[in-house]
Amino acid sequence: MTSLQDRPRTEFEDNDQHPVGHGRMLRKEDPRFIRGKGRYVDDLQLPGMLHLAILRAPMAHARLVSIDTSAAQAHPKVKLVVTGAMLAEKGLAWMPTLSNDVQAVLVTDKVRFQGQEVAFVVAEDRYSARDALELIDVEYDVLPAVVDVRTALDPSSPVIRDDLDGKTDNHCFDWETGDAAATEAVFAKAEVVVSQDMVYPRVHPAPMETCGAVADYDSIDGQLTLYCTTQAPHAHRTLYAIVAGLPEHKIRIRAGDIGGGFGNKVPIYPGYVCAIVASLLTGKPVKWVEDRSENLTSTSFARDYVMRGEIAATKDGKILAVRTNVLADHGAFNGQAAPVKYPAGFFGVFTGSYDLQAAYAKQTAVYTNKAPGGVAYACSFRITEAVYLVERLVDCLADELKMDPVALRIKNFIQPDQFPYTTKTGWIYDSGNYEATMREAMRIADYDGLRREQAEKRERGELMGIGISFFTEAVGAGPRKDMDILGLGMADGCELRVHPTGKAVVRVSCMSQGQGHETTFAQIIAEEIGIPPADIQVVNGDTDQTPFGLGTYGSRSTPVSGAAAALVARKVRDKARIIASGMLEVSVADLDWDKGSFHVKGDPTKSVTIQDIAMRAHGAGDLPEGVEGGLEAQICYNPENLTYPNGAYICVVDVDPGTAVVKVRRFVAVDDCGTRINPMIIEGQVHGGLADGVGMALMEMIAFDEDGNCLGGSLMDYLIPTALEVPDWETGATVTPSPHHPIGAKGVGESATVGSPPAVVNAVIDALTPFGVRHADMPLTPSRVWDAMQGHPHPP
Ligand code: MCN
Ligand code: CUM
């Protein structure tokens, strides 16, 4: 291995030589991060600031009998102790979730999951606040907990949500998509049908920075400023405005730097509301920051789908239909964030990348005594679950037909000339060249060579596995005619202002949590108007400084805000063209654009740069008839469709026959996200997502005991991969631009997390071929792999 110093420097590492616009370029935000100068919420110190700590329930299900806060209140450093009953008096004990459910801010009646918020203390310092929690005396009447999603709907199960009118069971919602009868007809006639039960376990995004907030209410002008870890500042502001009855202009949300979100920072958590209430009551700024275990046990989890999948095909491997029945564990409150019409997120793309005759999915969601959440951890709104389901099913079918899993996929891919392709569940895939992408991955991996190596190893009793996964995601929610969150349309604003000296500021409604938006959004603008990225400041995360929009999740920043950025820049360029025509004394039609300047057609010596134009736009000289001064524009972009990135992943594992330890030896990922704005950042996104995938496939799970105690409350128990568990990633690309996106870009931020788990699992199952194993559930820990090798694929 070469050391970092020896490594040849590549051209892109020198930003000064970087061509203006798209391409490899170092991240503009990194100088402050690598110097430890990021501005996270916990770095904030405001004068007179108090500290808030939350008392959490020690058990999963219990009636609250009494709560005595007098000893805590007597603590010399404590300023305030608040219980659910006190919030109830102000009508603030419950808050709406982003999925039209309600969630308790503090418990008033009943504890519904372990770690739920019961009371809070505000003190002069963090330690005193924590100490005082121990002085609160709570009496609980413990109830049996509902832990297993499979029995949650049994009439004998205690009803968790008795706060909801007339609720007599733990049913949360039903949802279906596709055509049940047509699918049944295809299945009834099919030559081959394979079915498989599989569980996508509960996992947690576990961002490096936990959630937190500083609430600062100014009682003189009635202005509330909330510094907080949110991926969606504007959506949060509107929700607070509705809950608190304050006008939006009196609420300012400021999300500074965020140390990883991964969907964990989309929901509104009780802690944020507690901090706001505390600042209102004390008149002081109040800080609340979770510790690791609070983050793991009480904030938005992901997955928790129990799935039965069925696939129908002909004997020679033409896939005809896919069908699935899903039980979804939503925890104690439906706290997921998904567009209203898609209560199961975009699970509807479970038809994968294949041309089918019919498809049908049915889903039942239930409440259990576990933390709420559901859509987090680079989920692409549940496409993770969908891709896992279909990619495992295709491998089960390949096993049944004794066909090579790549050949089976290639035989069934949607063909390039079928795009735009309407799936049997109604999604319109915009573009792709799946076979080319698959073949590129095979080339990089030397697929045939790998199969030869595997055959030789099998002869020697060695367990080598090769796993394939091909995914299509639907990202960039979404067209406002059919996508909204709590009635808010999923469009995004963007404003661009070019200053007199030709420097620019672009204000976006999306919110970077590590994806490098300060760089890539500057590049998008640079590509369109030729101002170097270094001269373009990207502003995000402050509702007073940015236009309205729904924020960053579901890899929607590039598909939606990125489109808005390109279009707003084109608006500015159009105005610049008119000003240039005046400066060069020719008509607009006689001008040609080179990135960064206009010149007279046929005479490149007669030209003006965008910087000259910016000065003229603000200067004292005349402007063409009807042109206002200044050089700026704004836009709100409503996407026409989602974008459909796709990719082919090949994973190579070795399984130790003696210990059942899985080692991921190679991982090839070829991603097609359309036009690539910054390939270095894309590779970083893919590397991170692949590590996520290895983690979920092999290590990560939030488990519970039968009483509902969370067994994943620390990073000692909830294992996440380190550099030691992952290989050197081998990445590649194909480029099929999105036809409706102004620059042809598709999202990529979640692609690798979505696409990689089935590749790893398929590889492990492939390695276990000599044992006749068709499936084993994630995480494939040594004990589970061992069980599978012994013929017990489902752990008890
Ligand atoms: N990009 C690009 N060319 C493309 C597509 C994207 O150069 N064709 C760049 C973008 O400009 C952006 C990055 O790649 O800098 C990711 O873009 P996009 O796919 O639009 O995703 P978002 O920016 O909307 O990020 C959200 C996505 C989600 S939903 C999760 S979850 C996740 C992820 O990003 N969380 C992350 N990646 C993460 N990466 C980090 N470091 N931290 C997180 O919390
Ligand atoms: Cu689903 S995790 Mo991301 O969409 O923030």
413 Cα–ligand 2 center, Å: 27
pLDDT at residue 75 above 90? yes
The answer to whether the CB of 762 is under 6 A from ligand 1 is no
Mutate to test the pocket of ligand 2, among 99, 236, 262 (most ligand atoms within 8 A of CB): 262
Atom of ligand 2 nearest to the CA of 205: 2
445 Cα–ligand 1 center, Å: 26
Atom of ligand 2 nearest to the CA of 380: 1
Supply 132's token pair. 């005082």
Q: What is the pLDDT of residues 194-210, one digit of tens each?
A: 999 999 999 999 999 99
pLDDT at 4: 45
How far lies 133's CA from each of 73, 74, 120, in Å?
10, 12, 8
pLDDT at 764: 98
Q: Which ligand is nearest to the CA of 682?
A: 1
Q: What is the pLDDT of residues 157-175, one digit of tens each?
A: 999 999 999 999 999 999 9
pLDDT at residue 179 above 80? yes
The answer to whether the CB of 678 is under 6 A from ligand 1 is yes
Percent of the chain with pLDDT over 70: 97
Q: Which ligand is nearest to the CA of 208?
A: 1
pLDDT at 16: 54
How far lies 485's CA from each of 20, 444, 489, in Å?
37, 41, 7
Across 528-548, average pLDDT: 97
The answer to whether the CB of 675 is under 6 A from ligand 1 is yes
Percent of the chain with pLDDT over 90: 96
Supply 21's token pair. 């616009």
pLDDT at residue 562 above 90? yes
39 Cα–ligand 2 center, Å: 22
The answer to whether the CB of 674 is under 6 A from ligand 1 is yes
- Amino acid residing at 434: Y
Across 219-245, average pLDDT: 94
- Amino acid residing at 574: D
742 Cα–ligand 1 center, Å: 18
The answer to whether the CB of 748 is under 6 A from ligand 1 is yes
Supply 345's token pair. 């997120």
The answer to whether the CB of 751 is under 6 A from ligand 1 is no
516 Cα–ligand 1 center, Å: 8
Q: Which ligand is nearest to the CA of 300?
A: 2
513 Cα–ligand 1 center, Å: 9
**E strand map for 611-764:** 632-637, 646-655, 662-672, 729-733
Atom of ligand 1 nearest to the CA of 553: 29
Atom of ligand 2 nearest to the CA of 554: 4
pLDDT at 669: 98
Q: What is the pLDDT of residues 487-520, one digit of tens each?
A: 999 999 999 999 999 999 999 999 999 999 999 9
Atom of ligand 2 nearest to the CA of 375: 1
Q: What is the mean pLDDT of the chain?
A: 96
pLDDT at residue 278 above 50? yes
211 Cα–ligand 1 center, Å: 19
Phi, psi at 401, each rounded to 5°:
-85, -5
The answer to whether the CB of 476 is under 6 A from ligand 1 is no
pLDDT at residue 1 above 50? no
Sorting pLDDT into bands at 50, 70 and 90, what band is 44? very high
pLDDT at residue 796 above 60? no
The answer to whether the CB of 375 is under 6 A from ligand 1 is no
- Amino acid residing at 438: M
Q: Which ligand is nearest to the CA of 302?
A: 2
What residues are paired with 312 via a beta bridge? Answer: 193, 321
* Distance (Å, whole) CA 41 – CA 624: 48
Q: What is the pLDDT of residues 574-606, one digit of tens each?
A: 999 999 999 999 999 999 999 999 999 999 999
Q: Within a 13 Å sphere around the CA of 99, how many CA atoms are in the beta-carbon half?
A: 24
Q: What residues line ligand 2, using a CB cutoff of 6 Å?
A: 231, 261-263, 266, 375-379, 553-554, 750
* Number of other CB atoms surrounding residue 222 within 10 Å: 11
In this prediction the ipTM stands at 0.99
Residue nearest to atom 29 of ligand 1 (CA): 553
Mutate to test the pocket of ligand 2, among 236, 346, 380 (most ligand atoms within 8 A of CB): 380
The answer to whether the CB of 688 is under 6 A from ligand 1 is yes
Residue nearest to atom 12 of ligand 1 (CA): 515
Atom of ligand 2 nearest to the CA of 378: 2
735 Cα–ligand 2 center, Å: 24
Atom of ligand 1 nearest to the CA of 688: 39
Q: What is the pLDDT of residues 84-113, one digit of tens each?
A: 999 999 999 999 999 999 999 999 999 999
Tell me which residue of 90, 91, 89 sits closest to 102, measured CA to CA.
Answer: 91
168 Cα–ligand 2 center, Å: 32
Q: Across the chain, which distance is largest between two alpha carbons, in Å? A: 86
Rounded to an integer, what is the distance from CA 270 to the centroid of its chain?
A: 21
Quick check: 471 and 350 in contact, CB under 8 A? Answer: no
Residues whose CB is less than 8 angstroms from the CB of residue 189 and which lie 6 or more positions away in sequence, other chains included: none
What residues are paired with 528 via a beta bridge? Answer: none
263 Cα–ligand 2 center, Å: 4
Domains of the chain from N-terminus onward: 42-143+210-258+265-298 (3.90.1170.50), 383-476+641-789 (3.30.365.10), 491-637 (3.30.365.10)
Across 673-692, average pLDDT: 98
Sorting pLDDT into bands at 50, 70 and 90, what band is 621? confident
* Number of other CB atoms surrounding residue 688 within 10 Å: 20
Tell me which residue of 299, 285, 270 sits closest to 92, measured CA to CA.
Answer: 270
Supply 504's token pair. 């620019």
pLDDT at 244: 82
Mutate to test the pocket of ligand 1, among 509, 515, 525, 686 (most ligand atoms within 8 A of CB): 515
Residues whose CB is less than 8 angstroms from the CB of residue 1 and which lie 6 or more positions away in sequence, other chains included: none
Q: Kindly calculate the radius of gyration of the chain based on its CA atoms and give it in whole angstroms.
A: 27
The answer to whether the CB of 741 is under 6 A from ligand 1 is no
Atom of ligand 1 nearest to the CA of 378: 31
403 Cα–ligand 2 center, Å: 35
Supply 319's token pair. 């896939």
* Distance (Å, whole) CA 528 – CA 482: 30
* Distance (Å, whole) CA 584 – CA 668: 53
Supply 174's token pair. 């039903």
Q: Which ligand is nearest to the CA of 681?
A: 1
The answer to whether the CB of 750 is under 6 A from ligand 1 is yes
Residue nearest to atom 32 of ligand 1 (CA): 262
Sorting pLDDT into bands at 50, 70 and 90, what band is 11? very low
pLDDT at residue 17 above 60? no
338 Cα–ligand 2 center, Å: 10
Q: Which ligand is nearest to the CA of 509?
A: 1
* Distance (Å, whole) CA 545 – CA 158: 48
